[in-house]
Structure 1
Amino acid sequence: MKPESEADLAEAIKGARGPLQVRGGGTRGTGAPLGEVVETGGMTGITLYEPGALTVVVRTGTPLAEVEDALAAENQRLPFEPMDHRPLLGTNGTPTIGGVVAANVSGPRRVQAGACRDFMLGVRFVDGSGQIVKNGGRVMKNVTGYDLVKLMTGSRGTLGVLTEVSLKVLPRPETQACVMLEGLDDAQAVAAMARALGSPFEVTGAAHLPSGDGGQPVTLLRIEGFEKSVAYRADRLRALFDGHAVRIEEDAGAVADRWASVRDVTAFAGRDGDVWRISCKPSDGPALAARLGAEAHHFDWGGGLIWALLPSGTDARARLGAFRGHATRVRGMGDAPAIQPEPAPLAALSDGLRARFDPRGILNPGLMTA
């Protein structure tokens, strides 16, 4: 079913007699094993955009590209740089803003700007009983009671079906450049990224590709802003790593393409095997990557995010053992749950929330354990 309005969606959920799979643009799949599909793509449109207030309100079925184009026309952007999963997963859907929020999709800029969740101002959604719920508003402020805005961001449609979201946006920079360190191993690269991120030069992306340009390791440090400031900071970063092989890419288009490839993990697109996404302490990253023994891997978020390509059916968690973080299978099949199982106390809280917002258990059932 594809409701055209929030009211239609509420009636559909209220009248449901079995499980429902919630789907946005179909770029990632829900992973839920059962249920009739409910698509949000019928609820589209930017309902409010105030460039001066850095605020946009959008129905959740709206294509992400439409939102980004509207912001670009006012020289603004979504700060959290959402990933496009289609190259990696080989899908043909259309990314929607609702799908981005439901999965808290955040790209390389998260290391500096924050995640999607950090820019959420308000939500409207329909819960598992068919009730329409609104929380938050159009400005950043403290809240009382449940902060449903943060709760719904990343809940993957298991607590309710998002119908409208309000987000804070930010100005687009005038230009960008990429400082590249060549030949570092994983440990050296993570140390270098930590040094760059801790510097005063406002690095907005820090990634390491062990098989980068020409198959050789390359560590990427992105800086953005006004042209003169970017040039100055690029030179200062070069000086910070005096003694290393350093080059600077200054063509803004080439830099954007390079970071889009990092964001979308295009190096693993079309290659056989399962893709795992491991979130961890940056300082733990090199040792964890060594434990994985992956066919290929790279680091984002200054080492706090590992993308790994493993043989089909491999359980990355079994190779990693206990660690501070979580591992998610983004592509592939296997006996292990795709999403990291929660510790018992946290799982009890999650179950309680789902029972409150979806008492019949019909929204994306099994998604968090499939």
Structure 2
Amino acid sequence: SLQIVKGSILGNHYKVEAFLGEGGFGIVAKCRDTMTNRAVAIKVNKSDPDILQQAKLEIFILEQLRRLDPDAANIVKWNGFFHDGEWVCLKFELLDQCLWDYIGDRKNQGLPISEVRPILGHLTNALSHLGSVGIVRADLKPGNIMVVNRYESPVKVRLIDFGLACPASAVMPGDRVGTVGYSAPEVMLGLPYNEASDMWSLGLVAVELGTGVPLYPGNEDYDVLKFIIETQGQPPDHVLDSGVYIMMFRRGPENGQRLFVSLIKQILASDANQRITLLEVLRHPFFNPKSSPCIGMSAERPQNPVVFQHPSHLKCKRSEKINCSFQNSVEFSQQVFVRTSASPSFGSDELEIVEGSILGNHYKLCLFHIQFSSKTYLSP
């Protein structure tokens, strides 16, 4: 772990004054350059091999971004790096506060449009500049956007933390990047991503600016993708078919239930011309759910799902078109259980059956009960 406290000296002449943030990589500290008396932000990376490798990648990205004017591109100014023992330390300009804190100062009520407009413009400009040098940001969120000076009007923002940024040419399918709640569907599904994924994240940041709260709640990708499908619809089949992580989002019972409802809706189309045909029924994914990568979206798995409401009264006129064939069963006292799919036949007017009636010469009616399933209990 990093043994750094207020007053510690980094790189011989950077005195730690405060801690600005921390994460799995290490810490970000506000430091005073004792040689110039200027305040700077220093990102101190732990000496773990994986973290050091990530630091090298970030330095590579920052070197590419040096081709840009930080002020014109709305990105943080990077002033190089140095080693302090086994730690790799990156030096940045000191900025005011992150966008999360800026929104929080408004009690998460959202910003007025007069403030949203310039911030969104700066972020769009920043992503455009990143694209001009072939960089995908890959982790755009309010926590990685800094306000230069909260008291300045109009407020200015800059992108920071390029630890997960990547050259567009080096993106690999299945790379797990970004933050839950801000990643695009293609990233969650394990597909190749590009600047369009940054555009998705930009849209979510825009919503949060205007409302004060994230659009998609949830601590897991599954929860977030569920909300996405409920609001924007399910991704196209060709997208789902190509996803490296699609199996993470398939929930067997829920998927089967969703396909069943889909089939019923097509069968019961009110427009006869739009109604599914018999051949199409047999080809429906409901009969072969393994071939369909559709994502189950039931928030809870109902224990006793009810699809049809069946009348509980006994007298059934033919004109009422009662369909008892969905699950029609007859149970005998000899424990013989018979299941039939045939629809019941009714007399010309109505069935006149009472308790004690004799059916088939030697079956005495003891109980007759109709609900979702029709069950008749008879004794010979």
TM-score tier (shorter): under 0.3
- TM-score, normalisation: structure 2: 0.23
Greater C-alpha Rg: 2
- TM-score, normalisation: structure 1: 0.23
